[in-house]
Structure formats: C-alpha cells, structure tokens
C-alpha cells in the first residue's frame, strides 16, 4: 500500500530562522507584507472597538473584511476545498440540532450559540485563506506558524507596554481610552478602575488575561526552537507577566501551570534532552520566579499585589479565599428532568430553568445542546486540534494550548469567544489547509494519470 504524507515540511525552517534577527525578506514576504499581516492580526485578535463619536468601528470585523477582500480569488478557492466544506457541514449539523431544540422548547429564543458558530466558521476560513496565501510563497506549515506566532508575541508585547504606561501615566490612559468604545453594560470602567486595564483591546479581565498568559507559554516554544533571541525573550516575558497584574489573575495561573506543563511535554517529546539554551531557559525562569516577590514589592503598592498574586503564596487556602472557584461551583445546576439533560433547552445560557445566565462554558453548552451532543461537539473540536498536531513541530505548545482552552472553558465559553479562541480557530484553519492539501493534490494527480 502506498503511504502518502499529508504535507512535507522540514524539521529546521532555515528561512524563518534567519527572520529572528529582524524583519528580513523571506520567501517573497516583504516588509510591506509583514506590516500588513501585523495590522491584520492586531485587529483580528485584539478586536478593539474604536469610538468615532458618530459611530463605532469594530476592529475585528474590519480585519475580516480587509483580509478576505484583499484575497478574493483565494477566498473563493478556499470555500471550494473539501476539508473546509466538511468542517462547515459539521458546524451546520450542530446548528441544525440547536434550531430543532427551539421547535420543541420555545420558552426563549436566543441566537447566542448560532452566532458563535458563525464566528467560528469565519475564524477557520480566515486561517485557511491565510495558509493558502502564504503557501503560494512556498512557506510550509511551521514557517507559517512561526511567522504568525512571532507577530502575535510582538502584538501582545506592545499591548503590555501600553498597559504599563497607562498605569504609570494617567494622561496617556485617558488618551487611549478616549479612542476606544466602552459599552454601557460593561461591568468594568477602564478609565477609572485603578488596576483594571486593557491596552488597545476590546476588553480586559479574564479574557485578555488568558490570552496574555498563553503568549507567555508561546514565548517558551519560540525560544526553545531558536526563533527569538534571549534578550527579546526575557524582555517580552517580564513585560507581559507584569501587565497581568493590571489585567486579571487568570493569566498568571495559566502561565504558571502552562509553562510547567509545556516544559514537561517538551522534555519528553524533544530528541535534544539537554542543551545550553534549555539550561539557560530553566535558570532564567527560576531566577524570575525568585525575583518577582521582592521586586514587585518595591515597584507596586500592596493593594495591587494583594489583588493579583498574593493569593498564590497561600496555596490551597489562598485559592479558596480568592473565591472564583467556589463562585463557579455554585453556578452548576443539574436538573432532575432527564429530557433537558439529554437534549438541552436550546439556549446557550448555562441555566436549564432559563431564569438567569451563568458563566461556565460547559454548562452553557449543556443547555444549548444537551450533554451527549455537547460532548460530541468537544470531541469534534479535539479532532480539529489533532489535525494541527499532525502537521506541526510545535506539538508541545499546541497540546498545552488546547488543554488550557478546555480547562478555561470551565470558567467561561472561551473556546468560542475572545482573543485565545480567535487564535485557536485561526490555527485550526491553517492546519486543515496543510493537513489535507498534500493528500488532495496526490489524489488529483492520480485521477488525471
């Protein structure tokens, strides 16, 4: 039997390695192209709402329109590809089921789940089109991911710098917030809350905190793979971690757990168990961990530290006193009516009685689809994630990223919404393109032979 590799790609992407020293020309990717891609990723990922006084400009929607509008031929080609069509059919089946539940459970009609599915389809399409556009420049899967990951780190690094400047210079904070729109129903006023900042993003709190924490893990992967230098790694890591003091605690927990898990997996999966770079990385992490308490105590007031990181030093007791875990546990409401558990109530609210809305992502999926179909959906997401895993050398990071997303789903529906979700679904789109393009090209050649 003939064995066909889905995609051939190199272990060492030399062209992208040369990119580490600066924004050099690689495979036809010019400075202008890099600037355009950076702008797209910034608007797409951070999705800020710009206040134009007469109207509100949605950065995320602007990025989608600009990107797909700049590649009409590639977009048309993408929506004809079997892997993308099959994925959309899968999403449509879940939507059809949700709509069917509405017919038999018509107390409340809500389109939240359907809206999320449309957004997910768009995110996957963007990733697929991005992959096709860079594939024409002879970039393989890991080169595309390296390029995107480095730009994502740069975007978050700049946003972290903006947050730190906002904290230290209130007039700059006023200037930034004057450009951004704040919804009337927002529970955080970023202009007045002392240590609740968002930089130039649509919002802050747990959503942005999760994204910044995830990028701290990504920095580990880029450094170990020799895609960034040591000075940039340390500077970006310290800046992003410090910014989490003023965004939210979620990212700090994610970073600590995620980095530890990443290095365990990477050590197991890597052929090179020990190297000078790896030893320097471990020593740096240990040094930062030991330096954080005394340095932060000098730089920041007690109220900031007690809110952001002090609870971590108290172990289990500190987590219990922090209160988030207990609050989320109280939101779990499992009814005695088995039809609701099996089929859901059709509303992505998390409450089977439809009296309120809860934050837990899993509870929201259970009410929207019922437990069996909700589990089927998460298996579907895991399968799409596996498609990426099979065609990339960023295996340790991708595994940790997916694990974190499934854990974070307990707190809020982060698999659907927010900055990390947009990155995840975009990468899935890239992975689908590279995972199946080689097979389809082979079958096409065989058919015409």
Give per-residue pLDDT as tens, 148-158. 999 999 999 99
The confidence band for 440, taking pLDDT boundaries of 50, 70 and 90, is: very low
Dist. CA 281–CA 61, nearest whole Å: 39
Residue 439 has pLDDT above 50, yes or no: no
SS3 204: coil
Residue 1 has pLDDT above 90, yes or no: no
Please indicate whether residue 418 or residue 105 has the higher confidence score (pLDDT): 418
From 372, 362, 331, select the one nearest 101 (Cα to Cα): 372
Residue pLDDT, tens place only, 353-377: 777 788 888 999 999 999 999 999 9
Q: Does residue 333 carry a pLDDT above 80?
A: no
**For the chain, how big is the Rg over CA atoms in Å?**
22
In terms of Cα–Cα distance, which of 244, 179, 194 is closest to 214?
244
Q: Supply the angle between the helices 361-369 and 112-135 in degrees, to the nearest 10.
A: 110
Q: What average pLDDT does the segment 293-321 reach? A: 69
Res 284 pLDDT > 70: yes
| Per-residue confidence band for 179, with pLDDT thresholds at 50, 70 and 90 | very high
> Per-residue pLDDT for 273 more than 70?
no
Contact 387, 435 (CB under 8 A): yes
Q: How confident is residue 106, by pLDDT bands cut at 50, 70 and 90?
A: low
Whether pLDDT at 307 is above 50:
yes
For the chain, what is the mean pLDDT? 84
Displacement of CA 8 from its chain's centroid (Å): 26
Contacts of 283 (CB under 8 A, 6+ apart): none
Res 279: pLDDT: 85
The closest of 157, 306, 166 to 232, measured between CA atoms, is 157
What is the per-residue pLDDT for 314?
57
Q: Between 345 and 9, whose confidence is greater?
A: 345
pLDDT level of residue 277 (50, 70, 90 thresholds): confident
Structure letter (DSSP) for residue 409: T
More confident site: 200 or 205: 200
pLDDT at residue 398 is higher than 80:
yes
Assign 285 a pLDDT band (cuts: 50, 70, 90): confident
Residue 63 · residue 113 · CB < 8 Å:
no
Angle made by CA atoms 384, 415, 258, in degrees to the nearest 5 = 90
Give the pLDDT of residue 282.
87
Stretch 404-430: mean pLDDT: 94
Q: Return the pLDDT at 327.
A: 59
Instruction: Check if the beta carbon of residue 384 is closer than 8 Å to that of residue 390.
Output: no
Query: How far apart are the C-alpha atoms of 256 and 253, rounded to whole Å?
Result: 5
318 vs 279, more confident: 279
420 neighbors 408 (Cβ within 8 angstroms): yes
The answer to whether 144 and 180 are in contact (CB under 8 A) is no
C-alpha to C-alpha distance for 137 and 351, rounded to whole angstroms: 49
Of the listed ranges 87-96, 100-109, 383-392, the one predicted with least confidence: 100-109
- What pLDDT, on a 0 to 100 scale, did the predictor assign at position 15? 42
Quick one: pLDDT at residue 328?
A: 61
Query: The dihedral of CA 92, 96, 97, 101: what is its sign?
Result: positive
Tell me which H or E stretch contains 58.
strand 56-58
Dihedral of the alpha carbons of 154, 57, 165, 424, in degrees to the nearest 10:
-30
Contact between residue 202 and residue 43 where contact means Cβ atoms under 8 Å apart: no
pLDDT over 50 at 63, yes or no = yes
With a cut of 70, say whether residue 130 has pLDDT above it: yes
Report, as an integer, the average pLDDT of 273-297: 83
- What pLDDT does residue 313 have? 56
User: Across residues 390-400, what is the average pLDDT?
Assistant: 93
The pLDDT value given to residue 31: 82
Instruction: Rank 107-121, 234-248, 320-334 by mean pLDDT and report only the highest.
Output: 234-248
Instruction: Specify the higher pLDDT residue, 400 or 11.
Output: 400
3-state SS, residue 140: coil
The Cα 110–Cα 112 span in angstroms is 6
Q: Which pLDDT belongs to residue 449? A: 38
* Structure tokens that stand for 293 in this block: 């308490």
Give the pLDDT score at 447.
39
| Average of per-residue pLDDT across 314-328 | 54
Q: Token digits for 329? A: 């546990």
Return the bridge partners of 29, or none: 26
| Tokens matching residue 20 | 């580490």
Q: How far apart are CA 227 and CA 41, in angstroms?
A: 19
Q: Which neighbouring-strand residues pair with 49?
A: 58
User: Domain map of the chain by residue range?
Assistant: 14-448
Dihedral (C-alpha) 116, 122, 126, 127: value to the nearest 10 degrees? Answer: 50
- What is the C-alpha to C-alpha distance for residues 170 and 161, in angstroms, rounded to an integer? 14
Residue 310: per-residue pLDDT: 63
Residue 332 has a pLDDT of: 72
Q: Is 72 a residue whose pLDDT tops 90?
A: yes
Under the banding of pLDDT at 50, 70 and 90, the label for residue 160 is very high
Q: What is the pLDDT of residue 441?
A: 46
pLDDT reported for residue 5: 40
């Amino acid at each position: 039997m003939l064995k066909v590799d889905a995609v051939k790609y190199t272990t060492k992407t030399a062209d992208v390695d040369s990119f580490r020293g600066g924004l050099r020309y690689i495979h036809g990717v010019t400075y202008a192209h890099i600037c355009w891609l950076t702008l797209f990723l910034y608007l797409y990922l951070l999705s800020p709402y710009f206040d134009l006084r007469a109207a509100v400009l949605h950065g995320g929607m602007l990025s989608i329109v600009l990107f797909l509008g700049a590649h009409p031929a590639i977009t048309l080609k993408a929506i004809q590809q079997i892997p993308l069509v099959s994925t959309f059919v899968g999403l449509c089946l879940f939507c059809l089921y949700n709509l069917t539940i509405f017919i038999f459970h018509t107390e409340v009609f809500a389109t939240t789940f359907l809206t999320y599915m449309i957004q997910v389809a768009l995110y996957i399409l963007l990733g697929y089109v991005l992959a096709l556009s860079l594939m024409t420049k002879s970039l393989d899967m890991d080169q595309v991911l390296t390029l995107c990951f480095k730009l994502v780190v740069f975007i978050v690094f700049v946003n972290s710098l903006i947050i730190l400047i906002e904290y230290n210079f209130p007039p700059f904070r006023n200037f930034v917030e004057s450009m951004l729109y704040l919804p009337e129903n927002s529970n955080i006023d970023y202009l007045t809350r002392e240590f609740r900042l968002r930089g130039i993003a649509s919002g802050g709190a747990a959503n942005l905190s999760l994204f910044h924490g995830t990028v701290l893990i990504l920095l580990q992967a880029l450094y170990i793979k020799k895609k960034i230098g040591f000075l940039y790694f340390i500077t970006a890591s310290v800046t992003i971690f410090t910014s989490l003091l003023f965004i939210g605690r979620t990212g700090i927990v994610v970073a600590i757990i995620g980095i530890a898990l990443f290095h365990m997996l990477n050590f197991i999966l890597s052929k090179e168990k020990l190297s000078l770079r790896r030893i320097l990385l471990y020593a740096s992490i240990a040094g930062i961990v030991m330096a954080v308490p005394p340095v932060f105590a000098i730089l920041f007031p007690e109220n900031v530290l007690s809110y952001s990181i002090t609870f971590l030093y108290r172990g289990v007791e500190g987590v219990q006193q922090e209160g988030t875990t207990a609050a989320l546990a109280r939101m779990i409401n499992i009814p005695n009516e088995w039809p609701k558990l099996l089929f859901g109530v059709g509303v992505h609210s998390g409450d089977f009685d439809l009296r309120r809305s809860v934050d837990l992502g899993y509870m929201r999926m259970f009410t929207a689809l019922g437990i069996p179909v909700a589990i089927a959906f998460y298996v579907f997401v895991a399968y799409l994630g596996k498609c990426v895993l099979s065609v990339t050398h960023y295996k340790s990071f991708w595994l940790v990223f997916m694990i974190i997303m499934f854990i974070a789903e307990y707190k809020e529906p982060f698999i659907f919404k927010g900055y990390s979700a947009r990155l995840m679904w975009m990468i899935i789109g890239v992975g689908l393109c590279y995972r199946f393009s080689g097979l389809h090209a082979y079958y096409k050649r065989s058919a015409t032979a």
